[in-house]
Structure 1
Amino acid sequence: MKAKIAIARRIERAEHGNLGDCKSLGNCVSEMRIGIAAGYRVFFTMREKIIVILLAGGTKRSQQKDIKKVIDLAKEF
């Protein structure tokens, strides 16, 4: 439950321009890092100053597989 709340709050803050702890992954994809429990990631891209949350996320454990998936998704977008 704490993780869901933390993720929802991060997305809400991002809506207001506060991206917090983020890292660029290349190919126009970045990740919001949420330092709670399993180390959750929310992947996003920017399109004309609009943050687009990609329909993928994950934990530190699944990070490499998730990154490949979101880069492919961003290319289709």
Structure 2
Amino acid sequence: MYPREKSIKYYQLESGREPFLDWLNGLMKRDKVAAAAVLSRIDLLRRGSFGVFRSVGKGVLELKVSHGPGYRVYFAIVGADVVLLLAGGSKRTQEQDIRKAQSYLKEYKQHAR
């Protein structure tokens, strides 16, 4: 049996900004190779192959990207076939990135009711 494809959604703030895409666009300006590695991991998520990931609590999952200074992608599964990309960061900013991602997911769930 093959993994089921997932839809990729980006968490959007009330202002219309998308924190994950803001982070990814900044990364593209600094390190195109790392940004390509992140996009490759997202494509694997879309295809239902999560690779190495872990729970960081409150429904948020962390995907490690094996390039650069320990880049991370924070996401949640919101429905059978939907991956919600919340935030991105590096090992250096990991704790604050996790807190932000958890806050974003909480807000998303409150508005999804």
TM-score range, shorter chain: over 0.9
What do the CA deviations read for 1:2-52 (whole angstroms, capped 9, x no partner)?
101100000011000011110101111001111211110000001112111
Identify the residue that residue 53 of structure 1 maps to in structure 2: 85
Identify the residue that residue 64 of structure 2 maps to in structure 1: 33
Structure 2 residue runs without a partner (length 5+): 1-31, 109-113
> Could you say which structure has the larger radius of gyration?
2
Higher strand share: 1
Counterpart code for 1:11: I
- The alignment partner of 2:106 has SS state of helix
What TM-score results when the alignment is normalised by the length of structure 1? 0.94
Higher helix share: 2
Runs of 4+ in 1 over 4 A off after TM superposition: none
- The alignment partner of 1:18 has SS state of coil
Question: Aligned equivalents of 2:57 and 2:97: distance in 1?
Answer: 14
Question: Aligned equivalents of 1:39 and 1:3: distance in 2?
Answer: 10
What TM-score results when the alignment is normalised by the length of structure 2? 0.65
Amino-acid identity (%): 36
Counterpart code for 2:46: E
Structure 1 residue runs without a partner (length 5+): none
Greater RCO structure (CA 8 Å; 6+ sep) = 2
Counterpart code for 1:16: R
Aligned positions, number: 76
1:63 corresponds to 2:74: no
1:9 corresponds to 2:29: no
